[in-house]
Amino acid sequence: MSKAARTANLLAVLIPFVAFVVAVVLLWGNGVGWHDLALFAVMYLLTGFGVTIGFHRLLTHRSFATSKPVEYLFAVLGSMSVQGPVISWVSDHRKHHAHADEDGDPHSPHVGAGSGLRGLVHAHVGWLVSEQGAARKRKYAPDLMEDGGMRRINRAFPWIVVLGLGLPALLGYLITGKLTGALTGLLWGGFVRVFFLHHVTWSVNSVCHFFGRRRFDIEDHSTNVFWLALPTLGEAWHHNHHAFPRSAVHGLGRRELDPSAWVIRGMEKLGLIWNVVRIAPERQAQKLVVPAAPPASPATPTA
């Protein structure tokens, strides 16, 4: 990867974060207050976990089992992230795993659009125009297509998006009692939150398939990127995930922070979910990259 391509991709991820901080500083007391940031944080976590736990670990990979009401709740929360209808999202992601970094992968930075900067742009946002929602649902998500409740949630996507924007606006009004509170609630808990979460999610497609660390012997280009771990709620341990797709825990190392796994563990203790898939250390060790043996030293002649 060239230095220019690496820099461009890093900026595409960092700029939304920097812009968010600058906006808070400049608008503090006149366009943003504590209640706006609280709405942003709450909506970010609810919809973010809807994607990471609901769309991804539950519905795509079946990393744990739960009741239909909990399953549908996560499907609604994930839909509020505005990343597409639930069945389309799951179909695209299952297709990604079926063809990871090969022809057919909807958002690989290594095929189709070419490598380097063009590939990174495609993986980050370009695929949304050319590939999003194109995966055949009957092929990649037959289980969801056969679920009447899930089909209704899928069809209701536009209304769920409106709900995801209207809820922070309503809460902003109830907290402040003012129309301006509703507008700033819509801005920070709605639009800014959607923009921020979009770029964080897309970074898993781009950044986490281009640079970072690897330790397992798998054929794709997935990587672990530690500085994206918290914003992505644990999804940036993407190399671990590709090594063990059904694992409910992506942060396999002791220091690999995985907030989504923490929530899953809490729900398991409460009896809300069960049959949680975890990967034993022995199985992880079997996939570790074996270091190349050092060259043999020349034999010492004997007298």
Q: What pLDDT does 303 receive?
A: 41
For every residue of the chain, DSSP letters joined together read: --HHHHHHHHHHHHHHHHHHHHHHHHHBTTTB-HHHHHHHHHHHHHHHHIIIIIIIIIIIT--SEE-HHHHHHHHHHHHTT-S--HHHHHHHHHHHHHTTTSTT-TT-SSSSS-SHHHHHHIIIIIHHHHTTT-S-HHHH-HHHHT-HHHHHHHHTHHHHHHHHHHHHHHHHHHHHSSHHHHHHHHIIIIIIHHHHHHHHHHHHHHGGGTSSB--B--SS---B-GGGTTTTTTTTBHHHHHHSTT-S----STT---HHHHHHHHHHHTTSEE------HHHHHHTBPPPPPPPPPPPPPP-
Any domain includes 265: no
Any domain includes 82: yes
Any domain includes 275: no
Any domain includes 143: yes
Q: What pLDDT does 5 receive?
A: 37
Q: What pLDDT does 25 receive?
A: 62
Any domain includes 247: no
Digits of tens for pLDDT over the chain (303 positions)? 335 434 433 444 455 556 566 565 656 666 678 888 999 999 999 999 999 999 999 999 999 999 999 999 999 999 999 999 999 999 999 999 999 989 898 988 888 655 677 888 888 888 888 888 889 999 999 999 999 999 999 999 999 999 999 999 999 999 999 998 898 888 889 988 998 899 899 999 999 998 899 999 999 999 999 999 999 999 999 999 999 999 999 999 989 999 999 999 999 999 999 999 999 999 999 999 866 555 555 544 444
Any domain includes 280: no
Any domain includes 234: no
Q: What pTM value is reported for the model?
A: 0.86
Any domain includes 62: yes
Q: How many structural domains is the chain composed of?
A: 1
- Residue 120's domain spans which residues? 3-212
